[in-house]
Structures are given as C-alpha cells and as structure tokens.
Amino acid sequence: MAEAGAGSPRGGDAAPPGPPEEQELSRRLRRLYPAVNQDETPLPRSWSPKDKYNYIGLSQGNLRVHYKGHGKNHKDAASVRATHPIPAACGIYYFEVKIVSKGRDGYMGIGLSAQGVNMNRLPGWDKHSYGYHGDDGHSFCSSGTGQPYGPTFTTGDVIGCCVNLINNTCFYTKNGHSLGIAFTDLPSNLYPTVGLQTPGEIVDANFGQQPFVFDIEDYMREWRAKIQSTIKRFPIGDRLGEWQAMLQNMVSSYLVHHGYCSTATAFARVTDTTIQEEQTSIKNRQRIQKLVLAGRVGEAIEATQQLYPGLLEHNPNLLFMLKCRQFVEMVNGTDSEVRCFSARSPRSQDSYPGSPSLSPRHGSSNSHVHSTGADSPTCSNGVMSTKSKQSHSKYPTLSSSSSSSSSSSPSSVNYSESNSTDSTKSQQHSSTSNQETSDSEMEMEAEHYPNGVLENSSTRIMNGTYKHEEILQTDESSMDSCPQRQLCGGNHAATERMIQFGRELQVLSEQLCREYGKNTMHKKMLQDAFSLLAYSDPWNCPVGQQLDPIQREPVCAALNSAILESQNLPKQPPLMLALGQASECLRLMARVGLGSCSFARVDDYLH
C-alpha cells in the first residue's frame, strides 16, 4: 500500500439517484443470468448489514458504503461483503463500484472474499480474499504483498469486477475498459467485497440496479458462442446413424404422446420409423386433450370414461383434480355444464351429467358423449355399453350419475410432474380463453354406423374413436359481444348448477378423506377453486390465475399420461425425459460450481 499522502478535499460525493424499482432490477438480473434459480441461489443485490466490520456504514438501500473509523493505520481497515455469494450458474458475473469520494488517502480495495474471511482487513490481504486497490493500482491475491496490475483509481472512477466461473478467473474494468486478468484459479462461493481505510471514503455499488458502464453482455456473448461451439464440435464418429435413429424415434414418440396424429404419421413415413400406438387410440387422446384445453373438462371426463372404462375409477386423485378443474371452468363459463343453459340446450336443468362421482362413467341419458332423445347403445369394440354393466359403487351416487363398484387403491398422481405441454398447445387455446363455444359446434352428426360398433344416433364414438376429424370450433364473436366477463356467463340457472356442483365436490372430497385419509393437495385445490366465488370479479382477484387457460395444461398432461400408462405405454415421452435429464444435469453442474452450465441451456436448442 502506498505511503499516506496529503489529504484531499472530499468531492463528487453528491448522492446519486435512488435505486430503481425492484422489478427493474429483477428484470435486468434475469436477462443477465437466466440460468440462475434465484429461489435456490439468490444473487447479490446489496451489501450485508450483518457481514461487515463496525467501521463500515451503509446507506441508500445498503448500496452506499462509507468509512467511519479512525483511519490511523492498516489495523483500522474495514470491509463489507454482499448479501449472497456469486452463484456458479451465472457463468459470468459482474458488478461495479463508483468511487463517490476517495476520502483522505484513497486506501480502497474492491474484490472478492469467501465467507468467514476477516472483515477487519482490505480485500486481498488474507487467504481466499482478492482485491484491486486504488491507492497503488496493485492486485492482492490472498497476500499482504501486492502485484502491479492496473492504474490507480480515485473520485469519479467506476471500477468493475468480473468473475468468470467457467475458467475461474477474474478481471477488472476502469470506466468501461478491461484491465486484463487479475486472478486465476479462483475458488467457488465468493462474495463481492469492498474495503475502506481512511475517513471520507465513500463508494456506491451497482449489482444491476442500473446499466453497467462496461459492456458485460458483449463479453457474455463471446463466451456463450465458445461454449455452444464446443457442444457442436462434440465428436460423434461411427455412431452417427445409431444416434439419428434414436433421435427420430424420440421425436416420433413425442408427436404420438401429444396426439399429433397426422404429423406423427407423416414423420414416420419419411423417417421409416414405427408408431407403437394405434391411430385410433392417438386420435382418442387428441380429442380428449382438445376438450380439456378448451375448458370443456366435463366432456373430457365422460369421453375418458367411455373410451377407457375404469381408468378414473382406479385413479380417484386424478378424477378429483379433473373435477376441481371442471368447477373452475364452470366459473369461467366454458364448461358444458353451464354453457348448456345459456345455449338453451334441450337437456333437463334438473339432470347433472357431470356430477362428481367415483363412478367410471355417468348415466347415458345425461352423458356429454351422447345426444339426448335416443336409446343407449351397446358397443362391441371395447367401448362399454351405457346400457349394461351398471352396478352399485361403495360411494353414494351423486345427482343422477350411475355408479360402478370400485375397490382399487388410488394411484398416486403427481400434479406438478406434468412436463410442460408443448408451446403450440398453449398458442392453440390461449387466444380462445373464456370464449363460449356453442353446443351445436361440438355435437357430432347423428348417423348409423353399419359395422356393429354403434347402432344409433345417441353416440359420437365409432370404432373406439370420434367420428369427426375436428371437434373443436371456437365462436370468436362470443367474447366480443360480451366485453364484461360474468360468473358462469351471467346465467342464473348456470350459477345455480355451479353451486350445486360445488356442494357435490365437497361431498366427494369428504368421501375420499374418509376412504384414504387426509390429502393436503385435495384440500388446497378445493380451497383455491371455491375461493373464486368470494370475489365479484374472479378474473382479477388474488386466486384469479386459476382461470388462465394455461392452467389447463398440467391437468391435460396428467390425464394424457394416465391414459398412456393404462395402455402400457410410457406416460412420459422419452424426448421429454431426455430434456429433463439434461436440465437436471445442468442444475447439478451449477451446484458443484461448473460455470459453463449457464451457457449450455436446454432452451437455447429448442427454438
């Protein structure tokens, strides 16, 4: 450290503008460090009022640091660490410090230190401590003896510190210009640190509250390109054909899983791959998924019960989740249980086809899968007849639903597991949110099928699948004509039906609780759904996010996976498992301090 010189007047210490709003800081940090999970590894945002020497004073949101000690010699040095260490998932981390006033002597150090390093010292003097000092321009690497590094800095200068967690180096900048590598072989979990030693020294930190003077994003782009180039150059060798075949099978199974029947068929034809599932089964799942994503959960339930008898009976957790979603869609006015009233459906308002029940099916006279006014059909193609095989369930029948016996334990349904439904699905239905679709658009053409599967006009199912290629049509004018959204579409009878359905849902919850014990997930789903009724405008309330169409996707995925599992097919497509494994690998890399994980994000290869 340079010998103390004559004192200099304090200058340039006018208080800078207060830090921007927290939202702006969060936005900038997300852009700079997209791979960081800030719930697990928070980013530094300010200096820590608990991790400092007592000669350090903090102000302005703990971003301004001033010296309040005696400043007689090096024993009066004082430092402060940031609130959190630098997460390895940053890949490259950067912060800047503005010298508001160099004080008496400008004995200031800017750098890094590990947790537990003595704060009665300037950064760089002790083991696992690193600093660049302003009075002599030397760098200090875990030693009291510095090495010549860069220029001195004083009042008005902005000093940046960049930590490269890919190659474990650190360089500094002065007023936007890089000064070159200062330290190598840095350990992990270092904290931004600043130290002062003489009266009048004041510095301000910028952890992302404001744009940086140095173009750190350009430096990040250079390293991102390096990492991605390394990935692209990975040697494949003689296994190219084997890998291509594997990837083609993974893509094919993904298309099949999500019900993209035509695309999957075309892809299989071009790549000479085999589709493991029958086309009719794929189309069945496609229709059911479309119903759920359109908010017509009641119809999706009944289609599932018709096409996959016993599936929901053996999965009461899944059925309960579907019924809770159906209640939410009733509030939304999209489920057919309430839409039928506004559409003046010939269905009796006293019959409730979608009543919650553990029965695998509902009565034929009320089923959404059937038209009214005709005899119930029998089925000889694996679809259970609605006219036969009715028996009594151990659960009381709710409303007009018929019941079948149920003796199986509930399968565990992981509601959060539903791997993300592909973005095209979100686009497919997000624009149709809260729009009413007329019943006539969903009704199938009444027609006799001569192949012995279905014999009259009371059904929409043929050969184990639906007759029409497309069953979802959206009446785009419905929302335009009703700019003010109303509970259950504003229909009184529909609201009464929703309330009755809610009571039945409560009874079902109590039945499940008695049968299988308390289920906190069930309780939360029910509370969240019922809470919508506590607000005059459910769409703009604290629990209103339930009405967002995107919330249908986890329900859709859970139902689709259950159907596949019941058919002895993988409930998750291998492609999604591979992507999940890659993402988890990157998270593990971050935990062990491998910074390159930040520039190898899976999302970068999915666009």
Mean pLDDT, the chain, rounded, equals 77
- The percent of residues above 70 in pLDDT, for the chain, comes to 73
pLDDT in tens, 332-377: 999 888 888 765 433 333 333 344 444 333 333 333 333 333 333 3
CA 236 to chain CA centroid, Å, is 33
Most distant pair of Cα atoms in the chain: their distance = 106
Please tell me the predicted confidence (pLDDT) of residue 109: 96
H/E stretch holding 93 reads: strand 92-102
Encode 347-372: b = buried (16+ Cβ within 10 Å), e = exposed: beeeebbbbbbbbbbbbbbbbbbbbe
- Site of tokens 């035509």: 262
Give the separation between CA 450 and CA 468, rounded to whole angstroms. Answer: 17
Q: Residue 20: which pLDDT band, with cuts at 50, 70 and 90?
A: low
Give the separation between CA 163 and CA 132, rounded to whole angstroms. Answer: 13
Give the separation between CA 536 and CA 540, rounded to whole angstroms. Answer: 9
Please tell me the predicted confidence (pLDDT) of residue 484: 64
Q: Residue 243: which pLDDT band, with cuts at 50, 70 and 90?
A: confident
pLDDT in tens, 412-442: 333 333 333 343 443 444 444 443 333 333 3
**Contact status, residue 358 vs residue 511, Cβ threshold 8 Å:** yes
Q: Residue 92: which pLDDT band, with cuts at 50, 70 and 90?
A: very high
Model confidence at 397: pLDDT above 90? no
Q: Residue 210: which pLDDT band, with cuts at 50, 70 and 90?
A: very high
Query: Residue 596: what are its φ and ψ, rounded to 5°?
Result: -65, -15
Encode 234-267: b = buried (16+ Cβ within 10 Å), e = exposed: eeeeeeeeeeeeeebbbbbbbbbbbbbbeebbeb
Q: Residue 596: which pLDDT band, with cuts at 50, 70 and 90?
A: confident
- Site of tokens 């993974």: 250
Give the separation between CA 254 and CA 248, rounded to whole angstroms. Answer: 10
Give the separation between CA 292 and CA 324, rounded to whole angstroms. Answer: 12
Model confidence at 472: pLDDT above 80? no
Higher pLDDT, 191 or 233: 191
Model confidence at 459: pLDDT above 50? no
Q: Which amino acid is at 395?
A: Y
H/E stretch holding 493 reads: helix 492-516
Please tell me the predicted confidence (pLDDT) of residue 241: 80
Higher pLDDT, 61 or 347: 61
Q: 398, 324, 355, 291: which is closest to 497 by C-alpha?
A: 355
Model confidence at 57: pLDDT above 80? yes
Under DSSP, the state recorded for 566 is H
pLDDT in tens, 554-571: 999 999 999 999 988 888
Q: Categorise residue 501: left if φ over 0, alpha if ψ from -120 to 50, beta otherwise.
A: alpha
| SS3 at position 597 | helix
Residue 270 has a CB neighbour count (10 Å cut-off) of 9
Model confidence at 84: pLDDT above 90? yes
Give the separation between CA 451 and CA 324, rounded to whole angstroms. Answer: 38
Model confidence at 404: pLDDT above 50? no
Model confidence at 502: pLDDT above 60? yes
Burial class of 181 by CB neighbour count within 10 A (0 to 12, 13 to 18, 19+):
middle
pLDDT in tens, 103-151: 999 999 999 999 999 999 999 999 999 999 999 999 999 998 999 999 9
Query: Residue 542: what are its φ and ψ, rounded to 5°?
Result: -60, -25
- The percent of residues above 90 in pLDDT, for the chain, comes to 50
Higher pLDDT, 427 or 94: 94
Please tell me the predicted confidence (pLDDT) of residue 231: 85
Between the alpha carbon of residue 129 and those of residues 110, 111, 164, 199, 281, the distances in Å are 10, 8, 16, 23, 63
Query: Residue 375: what are its φ and ψ, rounded to 5°?
Result: -65, 150
Burial class of 452 by CB neighbour count within 10 A (0 to 12, 13 to 18, 19+):
exposed
Helix residue ranges, H only, 258-361: 261-271, 279-293, 297-307, 316-332, 336-342
**Contact status, residue 123 vs residue 192, Cβ threshold 8 Å:** no
**Contact status, residue 545 vs residue 491, Cβ threshold 8 Å:** no
Please tell me the predicted confidence (pLDDT) of residue 509: 92
Spatial strand order in the sheet of 109-114: 47-52, 78-82, 190-196, 109-114, 129-133, 138-141, 147-148
Q: Residue 50: which pLDDT band, with cuts at 50, 70 and 90?
A: very high
H/E stretch holding 246 reads: helix 240-257
